Chain A
Amino acid sequence: MADTPVLLVGTRKGAWILTGDAERRSWSAEGPVFLGHVVQHLVADPRDPSTMLMASMTGHLGPTVFRSVDAGATWTEARKPPQFHHGDRLGRSLQRVFWLTPGHAAEPGRWYAGGTPQALFVSDDAGDTWEPVSGWNDHPLWEKWSMWPEDQTPDGSMLHSVIVDPRDASHLYIGLSSGGVFESVDAGRDWKPVNRGVAVAFLPDAEPEFGHDPHCVRMHPQQPDRLYQQNHCGIYRIDRPADRWERIGDNMPPEVGDIGFPIELHPRDPATAWVFPMDGTDVWPRTSPDGRPAVFVTHDAGESWSRSDRGLPSAAWFTVKRQAMTTDDADPVGVYFGTTSGEVWGSVNEGEQWSPIVQHLPEVYSVEFTRV
């Protein structure tokens, strides 16, 4: 039985695999894996944790996906990495694989990948070969929704937060940064925006149908009608079938604000979520507000938030990217995050106390939990 806790860490310069003891207090780091490669996302398959996929590129070489079927011991490249069709109607070429999501439990071998430009790809053989999801990539409104061909963010527009409803494999959400949140109820053949109620401070229209900038969207696994969103313009929750997001970030301390990249959910309690705020004032430094890094947690679905910084440095200027925060499956829940300054921090008690797990890595892009 797989019971050893493992953190999969993707960085700007390679990947590291952190193996913990049973108490999750002592961790050993193995790596770098693929030193020098930009690892945007490293994810284990919950249906088969020995299978892991890595979204990779380098400064020179094109994007690809590496696969391991032995829990990270060895890696091989996908035989056909995510890519558009030759002769694509817009002449698109994939610049980056940004996000990886394992498919539904009833669809073993299925994975989704989001990229730059904001395209969606699917694999049905555990990531070995990939095809474009035409229903999204060739949707009649794709150019409008993704604001093609302009890059909307400094690092390029990206498709992220590919979410599969555990009740229904054909019910999907995706996030476009920027572009907004979109939903499909027919396995990706058609899509509609789900952005009402979300602020968009960088567009003239106060409430456009799309064009928003979700940074990270999460669905609660045990209450899949509930989604949380850390947006460029605040923290939100929605309980479907409602179609309007509620800005629960208004309940954050005003001196901290509700800007950030990640949001993570308690695996069993749909009312508990963690965020890592960053400074979104002035020229948007995207550092810890006031140089005081802290996680904030809500236990009442965003009605109130409390600061969680015991053990964290009192003065530091890092932040946490959208894939770089995660939780485990233990009780109490472990919460983990990786920083732009190359550290991974963890808490074995839901954020009561934080401890450094590893330091001096390259900039951390992603942290994911698994057991092997």
Chain B
Amino acid sequence: MRIRIPTPLRSYTAQSAYADADGATVGELLADLERRHPGIRFRMVDEQNQLRKHMKIFLNDEAVRDLATPVGPADEITIMQALSGG
């Protein structure tokens, strides 16, 4: 599955806007993403498996925060960052 990567995380994907990962849930996708791009998951997900406050993951058009959310082969995953900072 192809995942869209936001600019703050592209240092982990050799500046690529997309990365491939496999899994049946959002959490499994992120775990596989971590295997392929070490370090990327902890910047998005804390040590208690909670998506960090300013990170957003869209499953197609729907924002999801539960890492157990199932995903299918036809789904599109987009990782985004919320508007924050200054």
Residue numbers in A under 8 Å from B45 (CB-CB): 62
Residue numbers in A under 8 Å from B39 (CB-CB): 64, 77, 79
Residue numbers in B under 8 Å from A77 (CB-CB): 39
Interface size grouping (class) on chain A = 10 to 19
CB < 8 Å neighbour of A93 from B44, B50, B86? B50
- How many angstroms from the CA of A93 to the CA of B42 in the assembled complex? 11
Known: A64-B42, A77-B39, A79-B38. Is A59-B84 also a contact (CB below 8 A)?
yes
Assess whether B46 is in contact with A81, with CB atoms less than 8 Å apart.
Answer: no
Stretch at the interface among A84-92, A98-106, A267-275: A84-92
Known: A77-B39, A79-B38, A81-B42. Is A61-B47 also a contact (CB below 8 A)?
no
Instruction: Kindly state whether residue A94 has any CB partner on chain B within 8 Å.
Output: yes
**Residues 67-95 of A contacting B (Cβ, < 8 Å):** 77, 79, 81, 83-88, 91-94
- How many angstroms from the CA of A77 to the CA of B46 in the assembled complex? 16
- How close is B33's CB to chain A, nearest CB, in angstroms? 14
Instruction: Kindly state whether residue A60 has any CB partner on chain B within 8 Å.
Output: yes
Instruction: Kindly state whether residue A223 has any CB partner on chain B within 8 Å.
Output: no
User: What number of A-B contacts does a CB cutoff of 8 Å give?
Assistant: 53
Residue numbers in B under 8 Å from A58 (CB-CB): 8, 85
Known: A77-B39, A79-B38, A83-B42. Is A60-B47 also a contact (CB below 8 A)?
no
Assess whether B46 is in contact with A62, with CB atoms less than 8 Å apart.
Answer: yes
Assess whether B52 is in contact with A60, with CB atoms less than 8 Å apart.
Answer: yes
Assess whether A61 is in contact with B50, with CB atoms less than 8 Å apart.
Answer: no
Known: A60-B81, A61-B8. Is A83-B47 also a contact (CB below 8 A)?
yes
- What is the size, in residues, of chain B's interface with A at 8 Å between Cβ atoms? 21
- How close is A84's CB to chain B, nearest CB, in angstroms? 5
Q: Mark B18-62, 1 if CB is under 8 A from A, else 0.
A: 000000000000000000001100111111111010110000000
Instruction: Kindly state whether residue B9 has any CB partner on chain A within 8 Å.
Output: yes
- How many angstroms from the CA of A61 to the CA of B50 in the assembled complex? 13
CB < 8 Å neighbour of A60 from B48, B49, B55, B86? B55
- Smallest CB-CB separation from B80: which chain A residue? A60
- How many angstroms from the CA of A81 to the CA of B48 in the assembled complex? 14
Known: A64-B42, A77-B39. Is A94-B8 also a contact (CB below 8 A)?
no
Assess whether A86 is in contact with B8, with CB atoms less than 8 Å apart.
Answer: no
- How many angstroms from the CA of A84 to the CA of B42 in the assembled complex? 12
CB < 8 Å neighbour of A62 from B38, B42, B49, B85? B42
Assess whether B52 is in contact with A88, with CB atoms less than 8 Å apart.
Answer: no
Known: A58-B8, A64-B42, A77-B39. Is A84-B47 also a contact (CB below 8 A)?
yes
- How many angstroms from the CA of A81 to the CA of B45 in the assembled complex? 13
Known: A59-B54, A60-B52, A60-B84. Is A88-B47 also a contact (CB below 8 A)?
yes
Instruction: Kindly state whether residue B74 has any CB partner on chain A within 8 Å.
Output: no
Assess whether B84 is in contact with A93, with CB atoms less than 8 Å apart.
Answer: no
Assess whether B43 is in contact with A62, with CB atoms less than 8 Å apart.
Answer: yes
Instruction: Kindly state whether residue B82 has any CB partner on chain A within 8 Å.
Output: yes
- How many angstroms from the CA of A25 to the CA of B52 in the assembled complex? 44
**4 interchain residue pairs of minimum CB distance:** A59-B85, A93-B46, A61-B43, A60-B81
9 residue pairs from A and B, CB less than 8 Å apart: A58-B85, A59-B54, A59-B84, A60-B52, A64-B42, A77-B39, A83-B42, A86-B48, A87-B48
